[in-house]
Amino acid sequence: MTGAEKFGPPVEGASRPSDPTLRARDGGWLPIIGCGMLAFAAAALVMYPRLAASHFDPQVYVRYDGWFALFLAHTLPQLDPAAADIPAYRAQRVLLSALVAVVLRLSGQQPGLQLDAALPDTGPWAMLAVNSLAQVMGTVALAALARRHSLSPFLGLLFGVWIGSLYVLQMGMTELLAYALVLWSLLFWEREKLWISAVLMAFAILTKETAALFGAALVISLLIQRRRATVSFVAVAFGPAVAWQLRVTSAFGITGVQAAFMAGNPGDQMTPIGAFFLPSDDPFWLVQLGWILIPSIVAVIWGAFGLRRKFDDPAAWALLLNGGFVASLPPASVECLCWSSRIGLAIITVLGWAMIRSGRGRTALAVLTVLLLPSLLFVLTGGDFGPLSAGGIESR
């Protein structure tokens, strides 16, 4: 019995082995890997100027949420409340920190570094390496999904060159790794490798809790179809995150999800659309509306209509869940483009997947062109030295 059979009947709507998936006459993996390299080249164009200006100090790539991920890496396997502003909230995003922690231990660094201690170079370089690999691999996964549905693999650039992806790479945050893992989970889902899909989804949720919205979409689809795979998929995809939340609770007395919604914390004051229209002196307010809010609303509407046509469609559920989430970001998350766009990577991921599954190649390429306009400006103006630099629009 194969792994897919253990999980139940094949997922309805998934491509079969006879589909045009990575066939030799289509160029195999070379165009797909090429897209990953193009994404990395674009990122290098905005990373190198800052690195050179800082005399090749890797700590310039670790800022804001990235600092907390680095501090957590230095304290693992212990959970030290001194390593974060909101310990339970930060500690739930453990996978990136765990990978960096492995590198730190192999390089001889010992756990227990406190918040105000001097940081060695090993951790920042490790974070940059992990996120760079995640950027390439996420692009490759989306490109492979596009090729699977006989569309241009260049659609993978939507993930790798999205403005939020470039911000994440430059600040050492978790979204690139989380949604790259989501995309690989979706790719194996479509290939009917549900065991692998569930494991990858588990890793994604351990990287950032919002990846659970994609896992929930897949589970809802299985439930509606009454697949016997449902219980196994839930256990594998969500079990590790639940276990880690229990570990976080034992250390801090509260789960990471609960901590997020406490007054004054990042999840406080989530209301549909409202935060995007608060009074603001942010010069990129219209950019946030056009490149974050409107795609989120489109995702919600598309998801709702998709469910009317096919109620068990996992992409439609993912559109609805992620679109509703990003459109409801709290004020703290829309203070500047670098915050909202990196969270909006969830929308880029789900829109890319949904457009590919719909087979609308020309529409997808048109959307790709529009959504990558801020990235083009960011790259051409030298990243941190141009008008879209994270340093220039960090707050209102």
**CB–CB of 323/354 below 8 Å?**
no
351 pLDDT more than 90: yes
320 pLDDT more than 70: yes
16 pLDDT more than 50: no
Residue 248 domain flag: yes
Determine the pLDDT at residue 56.
87
Instruction: Give the mean pLDDT of 234-262.
Output: 96
Determine the pLDDT at residue 383.
61
Instruction: Give the mean pLDDT of 146-153.
Output: 93
Alpha-carbon torsion angle 60, 287, 385, 85, nearest 10: -20
**Number of folded domains that form the chain:** 1
Of 13-22, 178-187, 230-239, 249-258, the least confident: 13-22
Residue 11 domain flag: no
* DSSP sequence for 173-187: -SHHHHHHHHHHHHH
Range of the domain at 125: 25-257+272-385
Determine the pLDDT at residue 178.
98
Determine the pLDDT at residue 32.
94
**CB–CB of 209/257 below 8 Å?**
yes
Distance, in Å, from the CA atom of 17 to the CA atom of 183, rounded to the nearest integer, reads 19
Residue 230 domain flag: yes
114 pLDDT more than 80: no
Residue 394 domain flag: no
240 pLDDT more than 70: yes
Determine the pLDDT at residue 367.
84
Instruction: Give the mean pLDDT of 266-291.
Output: 83
Residue 17 domain flag: no
63 pLDDT more than 90: no
Residue 119 domain flag: yes
Query: With bands split at pLDDT 50, 70 and 90, how would you rate the model's confidence at 192?
Result: very high
Of 6-10, 60-64, 311-315, the least confident: 6-10
